[in-house]
Amino acid sequence: MSEQQGTIDRTVDVAVVGAGMAGIKAALELEARGLNVCVLEARDRVGGRLKPGHIAGHKIDNGGQWVGPQQKLLLAEAETHGVEKFDQYRQGKSVLDFKGKQSLSSSDVPKMPFVSLLDLQRTVSKLDALAFSLPSDAPWSVRNAAGLDGQTFETWIQANCWTEYTREFLRMVTRSLLCCEPKHVSFLYFLEYVRGGEGLDILLGVKGGAQEAKFRGGAHQITEKMAAKLKSPVIYEAPARAITQHDTHVEIVTDRGTVTAERAVIAIPPTLASRINFANSLPVRRDHLMQRMPMGTVIKVHVAYDKPFWRDKGLSGMGVSDLMPCNVFFDQSPEDASCGILVGFIDADAAAEYSTAGDNARRQAVIDSATQFFGPEAKNPIDYVDNDWTSEEWSKGCYVAHMAPGVMTTFGAALREPCGRIHWAGTETATQWQGYMDGALQSGIRVAAEIADRRGLAMAAE
Amino acid sequence: MSEQQGTIDRTVDVAVVGAGMAGIKAALELEARGLNVCVLEARDRVGGRLKPGHIAGHKIDNGGQWVGPQQKLLLAEAETHGVEKFDQYRQGKSVLDFKGKQSLSSSDVPKMPFVSLLDLQRTVSKLDALAFSLPSDAPWSVRNAAGLDGQTFETWIQANCWTEYTREFLRMVTRSLLCCEPKHVSFLYFLEYVRGGEGLDILLGVKGGAQEAKFRGGAHQITEKMAAKLKSPVIYEAPARAITQHDTHVEIVTDRGTVTAERAVIAIPPTLASRINFANSLPVRRDHLMQRMPMGTVIKVHVAYDKPFWRDKGLSGMGVSDLMPCNVFFDQSPEDASCGILVGFIDADAAAEYSTAGDNARRQAVIDSATQFFGPEAKNPIDYVDNDWTSEEWSKGCYVAHMAPGVMTTFGAALREPCGRIHWAGTETATQWQGYMDGALQSGIRVAAEIADRRGLAMAAE
């Protein structure tokens, strides 16, 4: 159900800003508690960083898409709404283009000299051990937080890896996970992200990992089906522009009218939240945190061919590169293989570059990358689609916000802390699988419970 | 002249957003070229980060105040408007509270073991040499930019200083200059700031340095007198909320109406500029740069006494500490010494803490710091005033924005680059004395010339 016309002036118990998975989950949980809720969305669709698309007549996800077996909340939500999953295609060898050399592998790790492999294993174990040492609700309070947060991941990489192979591998990993370069991110924040994703093997893995499966018909359907269950339909094209707190309520001014609510849930990325006019009512740490959580930069691309020609060559359609503009590919063909589709990513600094390089240059760079990975058949696609998340007005980047050094230890405690009648959701606020759909769901569930608690306390006090 | 009532709808050649020193200078320069200009200001006053105040019946600067002999643009501007300067009081010894020990000194450097002094000199020379090696118009293009920008200043401090004294000294320096901790700032950005300020000795110095003198009646008068010279008066309480670019003009929607202009100058801090709705018309690098230039955190405090009691003890009223909440003090007494006034700063992480600690706790912390520096006479002030810049709605921090690691090399080139009909000013965009009044003036002069050039080109093309 949606509501598209006229003014939306109304009074509700809770107003939710943002109809991404986090906001809709929060609204459903609040409605289940008997509250009157309204969800305000800037776009003309639900889903936020989940976004439907088409290529060569087939449905695709232009936004988030994968699910791993650890992501129990997402798996349960999909099941509730009858959205089925199927395995990511991974038969055959992956192409690893690394330090200027190509190799084929049945693992996700590039072919490396023995000492580099050893170094990589040693380094990944060390990173995982450090990550798992963080307290999940307050990573900023870990012993030696100052040391971990005082440096970039790049600094750690340079100081701790024995070989240039390992260094380049970890740079590639950072681009793939956070859509930024290791120079941009706090080492502590990187570790927190690894902790949330249950370690690097799971985060990076296909079988048994975060890319194991995808959703038949697209992940974006889950938010659509969730939204359809709302008692009060999502209000579209109603970006929140100003939020004022009063003693007994909050007022949310949108482009389509004003909503008065007892409490508000802000379920959008921090950098977008910073653009709402809170009339200076937020505590200093919250405002300054939002000044310091930029979004990563990424362009998601799809290229379609008349058939998945790579499969005939014994290739999985997976490719990973340290140098190519489009540095990661997966097979995104329809289940019946009626055509061949590759999905790829231009991320981190390359995304900033190719976002402004022009449509043709970007398309050509992607096709060139695919050709380098999978051979000359890649030169002649039947269709091409890309989604430049770096310039999406209502995301301002993807997949997720990150923190530069020092931010977590100085301002991190404000991440989930309610500010009067304003509560914070969104995948960035999760304590597990932040940056993923699963984290978005967790944040929606948490924020609804938080509001129920506060309302309970307020009622008990009356 | 000011204009305070009614709608402000109008069409001008250039609209300037922000009536700080940069915006007003730009407007004056544009008017001098015969253009029709209007300056839009969110506050009910001009000056931005320059702000008048009073303590114990005396005028003070709650914002920027000092001038050094290198700051030729500011000195000239002050002279033009008949604002006189007088020397910062510096007779007597300074109190240096460092690593838990107090010492008196007639230099600005804490009393240290010989090896630490040697290390400090060596380190400062090294920093200056690196700073002066940066190309002034494009620091991101220096050889080894990736290495310098890939680390925090904290990382560099830890790797390059021999003694803990030097390390703590440089942390203190970072707090004083950028109002952030060394963990927050890119080493390359720190160097760029040092280059802009002509080296650490000049930046930190009183006699011959950036704190040599102040303005009789307050620095804020300069912007007031500049604004009074504008042909078209500043429009107050008109924050720019949305800016739309068209083929031939820009539209600026404010709280008081809409201004149509051929071009716009944005002369506010980047994080505030990011909160204007540009309807997604900015290039990716510009938007992402503004997501990544947070303001520093600082509270400026004044404490008044019936007389400058420290002078009788042979003290200058200068104090510097590595641990106290209020870690820098200067003598701010009126020239006739009719009472004693200390000016101090709570900065970086301490500012985030004391901004939320409550008025009484903050006041007490300041008085305790003054007492530790200058003795028990400091316990009984006759007046106290503070200005919490971290929570000023229309600055969102002070003195200046900084860049975390990686930001300058990935996004820095967008700092001054015009975006269609939108031009960027503000002290952050200066190539000399960025963060200072002098840099604000330079940016105003530069942006006016930039617009004149483009108009000239456009006219030549017709």
Q: Which CATH number fits domain A114-174+182-202: 1.20.120.550, 3.90.1280.10, 3.40.190.150, 1.10.405.10?
A: 1.10.405.10
What secondary structure letter does DSSP report for A110? P
Shortest distance, CA B252 to any CA of chain A (angstroms):
16
Fold held by A85-108+205-215+298-388: Polyamine Oxidase; Chain A, domain 2 (3.90.660)
Contact B294, B401 (CB under 8 A): yes
Contact B286/A at CB under 8 A: no
What is the rounded average pLDDT of the residues A44-67? 98
What is the rounded average pLDDT of the residues B38-64? 98
What are the b/e assignments for A204-227, b being 16+ CB within 10 Å?
bbbeebbbbbbbbebbbbbbbbbb
Q: Which of A154, A291, A397 is facing B294, going by the closest CB pair?
A: A291
Q: What gap in Å lies between CA A375 and CA A19, rounded to an integer?
A: 41
pLDDT for res B404: 98
Closest C-alpha to B12, from B254, B240, B250, B278: B250
Q: What gap in Å lies between CA A139 and CA A11, rounded to an integer?
A: 38
Closest C-alpha to B293, from B386, B437, B416: B416
What is the rounded average pLDDT of the residues B221-249? 97
How is residue A222 written in tokens?
């889950």
pLDDT tens digits, one per residue of A401-441: 999 999 999 999 999 999 999 999 999 999 999 999 999 99
pLDDT for res A462: 64
What is the rounded average pLDDT of the residues A250-268? 97
Phi, psi of A198 (to 5 degrees): 65, 35
Name the CATH superfamily for A10-48+220-282+419-455.
Answer: FAD/NAD(P)-binding domain (3.50.50.60)
Q: Taking 90 as the threshold, does the pLDDT of residue B90 lie above it?
A: yes
CB burial of residue B104 (10 Å; 0-12, 13-18, 19+): middle
Q: How many CB pairs under 8 A join A and B?
A: 142
Query: Residue A420: how many CB atoms within 10 A of its CB?
Result: 14
ipTM: 0.95
What is the rounded average pLDDT of the residues B83-112? 86
pLDDT tens digits, one per residue of A266-311: 999 999 999 999 987 899 999 999 999 999 999 999 999 999 999 9
Chain B residue closest to A154 (CA)? B150
Q: How far is CA B403 from CA A217, A284, B398, in A?
A: 42, 19, 14
The domain segmentation of chain B, as residue ranges, is 10-48+220-282+419-455, 85-108+205-215+298-388, 114-174+182-202
Q: What gap in Å lies between CA B292 and CA B406, rounded to an integer?
A: 10
**Contact residues on chain B for A295, CB-CB shorter than 8 A:** 288, 291
Q: Taking 80 as the threshold, does the pLDDT of residue B112 lie above it?
A: no
**Contact residues on chain A for B254, CB-CB shorter than 8 A:** none
Q: What gap in Å lies between CA B273 and CA B258, rounded to an integer?
A: 17
More confident residue, B322 or A263: A263
**Contact residues on chain A for B388, CB-CB shorter than 8 A:** 284
Contact A161, A182 (CB under 8 A): no
Q: What gap in Å lies between CA B438 and CA B431, rounded to an integer?
A: 10
What is the pLDDT confidence band of residue B100, given thresholds at 50, 70 and 90? confident
Q: What gap in Å lies between CA B387 and CA B71, rounded to an integer?
A: 25
**Contact residues on chain B for A167, CB-CB shorter than 8 A:** none
What is the pLDDT confidence band of residue B5, given thresholds at 50, 70 and 90? low
Which has the minimum average pLDDT: A213-222, B34-43, B251-260, B276-285?
A: B276-285
What is the rounded average pLDDT of the residues B444-448? 98
How is residue A139 written in tokens?
């990573």
What secondary structure letter does DSSP report for A206? S
| Helix pair angle (A72-80, A437-461), 10° resolution | 90
DSSP element (H, E) containing A122: helix A114-132
Q: Taking 80 as the threshold, does the pLDDT of residue A461 lie above it?
A: no
How is residue A160 written in tokens?
């701790």
Mutate to test the interface with A, among B168, B274, B291 (most CBs of A within 10 A): B291
Q: Taking 80 as the threshold, does the pLDDT of residue A364 lie above it?
A: yes
Chain B residue closest to A180 (CA)? B406
Which DSSP string do the residues of A226-242 spell out, in sequence order?
A: HHHT-SSPEEPS--EEE
A345 is in an annotated binding site: yes
Chain B residue closest to A389 (CA)? B284
DSSP element (H, E) containing A251: strand A250-254
What secondary structure letter does DSSP report for A186? B
What is the rounded average pLDDT of the residues B109-133? 89
Closest C-alpha to B127, from B204, B79, B188, B56: B188
Closest C-alpha to A8, from A225, A233, A228: A233
Q: Which of A151, A291, A407 is facing B396, going by the closest CB pair?
A: A291
Q: Vertex A301, ends A376 and A182: CA angle to 5°?
A: 105
What is the average pLDDT value for chain B, to the nearest integer?
95
What is the pLDDT confidence band of residue A155, given thresholds at 50, 70 and 90? very high
Yes or no, beta carbons of A183 and B409 under 8 Å apart: yes
The sign of the dihedral angle between the CA atoms of B407, B409, B410, B414 is positive
Contact A180/B at CB under 8 A: yes
Beta bridge partners of A340: A305
pLDDT for res A142: 96
Mutate to test the interface with B, among A151, A167, A183 (most CBs of B within 10 A): A183
pLDDT for res B231: 98
Helix H, strand E, coil C: the string for chain B is CEECCCCCCEEEEEEEECCCHHHHHHHHHHHHCCCCEEEECCCCCCCCCCCEEEECCEEEECCCCEECCCCHHHHHHHHHCCCCEEECCCCCEEEEEECCEEEEECCCCCCCCHHHHHHHHHHHHHHHHHHHCCCCCCHHHCCCHHHHHCCEHHHHHHHHCCCHHHHHHHHHHHHHHHCCCCCCCEHHHHHHHHHHCCCHHHHHCCCCCCCCEEECCCCHHHHHHHHHCCCCCEECCCCEEEEEECCCCEEEEECCEEEEEEEEEECCCHHHHCCCECCCCCCHHHHHHHCCCCECCEEEEEEEECCCHHHHCCEEEEEEECCCCCCEEEECCCCCCCCEEEEEEEECHHHHHHHCCCHHHHHHHHHHHHHHHHCHHHHCCCEEEEEEHHHCCCCCCCCCECCCCCHHHHHHHHCCCCECCEEECCHHHCCCCCCCHHHHHHHHHHHHHHHHHHHHHHHHHC
Q: What gap in Å lies between CA A146 and CA A403, rounded to an integer?
A: 14
Q: Taking 60 as the threshold, does the pLDDT of residue B102 lie above it?
A: yes
pLDDT for res A110: 61
pLDDT tens digits, one per residue of A159-206: 999 999 999 999 999 999 999 999 999 999 999 999 999 999 999 999
Contact A352/B at CB under 8 A: yes
Yes or no, beta carbons of B404 and A409 under 8 Å apart: no
What is the rounded average pLDDT of the residues B252-281? 95
- Residue A124, Cα to own-chain centre: how many angstroms? 22
A212 is in an annotated binding site: no
Closest C-alpha to B394, from B122, B57, B19: B19
Mutate to test the interface with A, among B185, B288, B293, B392 (most CBs of A within 10 A): B288
Q: Which of A155, A158, A411 is facing B352, going by the closest CB pair?
A: A411
CB burial of residue B72 (10 Å; 0-12, 13-18, 19+): middle
Q: Given the DSSP bridges, would you call strands B257-266 and B422-424 parallel, antiparallel or unpaired?
A: parallel
What is the rounded average pLDDT of the residues B364-390? 97
Contact A113/B at CB under 8 A: no
Q: Which of A297, A396, A404 is facing B405, going by the closest CB pair?
A: A404
pLDDT tens digits, one per residue of A236-245: 999 999 999 9
Beta bridge partners of A299: A346, A388
What is the pLDDT confidence band of residue B462, given thresholds at 50, 70 and 90? low
Contact A166/B at CB under 8 A: no
A79 is in an annotated binding site: no
Mutate to test the interface with B, among A284, A394, A419 (most CBs of B within 10 A): A284
Beta bridge partners of A35: none
Query: Residue B261: how many CB atoms within 10 A of its CB?
Result: 24
Shortest distance, CA A270 to any CA of chain B (angstroms):
10
**Contact residues on chain B for A397, CB-CB shorter than 8 A:** 288, 291
What is the pLDDT confidence band of residue B268, given thresholds at 50, 70 and 90? very high
What secondary structure letter does DSSP report for A198? T
Q: Which of A158, A284, A397 is facing B356, going by the closest CB pair?
A: A284
pLDDT tens digits, one per residue of A105-146: 876 666 677 888 899 999 999 999 999 999 989 999 999 999
pLDDT for res A458: 73
Yes or no, beta carbons of A405 and B275 under 8 Å apart: no
Q: What gap in Å lies between CA A161 and CA A172, rounded to an integer?
A: 14
Question: Is-cis flag, bond preceding A399, omega within 30?
Answer: yes
A31 is in an annotated binding site: no
Yes or no, beta carbons of A295 and B295 under 8 Å apart: no
Q: Where are the alpha helices (DSSP H) in A291-394?
A: 309-312, 349-355, 359-374
Contact A399, A390 (CB under 8 A): no
Contact B397/A at CB under 8 A: yes
What secondary structure letter does DSSP report for A296? P
What is the pLDDT confidence band of residue B164, given thresholds at 50, 70 and 90? very high
What is the rounded average pLDDT of the residues B58-87? 98
Q: What gap in Å lies between CA B37 and CA B16, rounded to an integer?
A: 7
pLDDT for res A456: 83
Q: Taking 90 as the threshold, does the pLDDT of residue B369 lie above it?
A: yes
pLDDT for res A459: 72
Q: Whole-angstrom distance between the N-terminal and C-terminal Cα of chain A?
A: 37
Chain B residue closest to A349 (CA)? B410
Percent of chain A at pLDDT > 70 equals: 97
Mutate to test the interface with A, among B155, B390, B402 (most CBs of A within 10 A): B155
Closest C-alpha to B348, from A413, A406, A189: A406
Q: Which of B184, B283, B388 is facing A356, going by the closest CB pair?
A: B283
What is the pLDDT confidence band of residue B99, given thresholds at 50, 70 and 90? confident
What are the b/e assignments for A161-190, b being 16+ CB within 10 Å?
bebebbbbbbbbbbbbbbbbbbbbbbbbbb
What secondary structure letter does DSSP report for A406? T
Shortest distance, CA B225 to any CA of chain A (angstroms):
29
Yes or no, beta carbons of A292 and B294 under 8 Å apart: yes
Percent of chain B at pLDDT > 70 equals: 97
Shortest distance, CA B214 to any CA of chain A (angstroms):
30
Chain B 410-429, CB below 8 Å of chain A: which residues?
Answer: 410-411
pLDDT for res A2: 47
| Helix pair angle (A153-160, A187-196), 10° resolution | 90
Yes or no, beta carbons of B274 and A279 under 8 Å apart: no
CB burial of residue A144 (10 Å; 0-12, 13-18, 19+): exposed
Q: What gap in Å lies between CA B237 and CA A136, rounded to an integer?
A: 44
Beta bridge partners of B215: B85
pLDDT for res B2: 47
Chain A 291-310, CB below 8 Å of chain B: which residues?
Answer: 291-292, 294-295, 297
pLDDT for res A100: 84
Yes or no, beta carbons of A405 and B404 under 8 Å apart: yes
Shortest distance, CA A38 to any CA of chain B (angstroms):
24
Q: What gap in Å lies between CA B423 and CA B252, rounded to an integer?
A: 13
Contact A375, A313 (CB under 8 A): yes
pLDDT for res B348: 97
Contact B160/A at CB under 8 A: no
pLDDT for res B1: 41
Shortest distance, CA A293 to any CA of chain B (angstroms):
7
Q: How far is CA B367 from CA B42, B240, B351, in A?
A: 33, 39, 15
Q: Taking 90 as the threshold, does the pLDDT of residue A342 lie above it?
A: yes
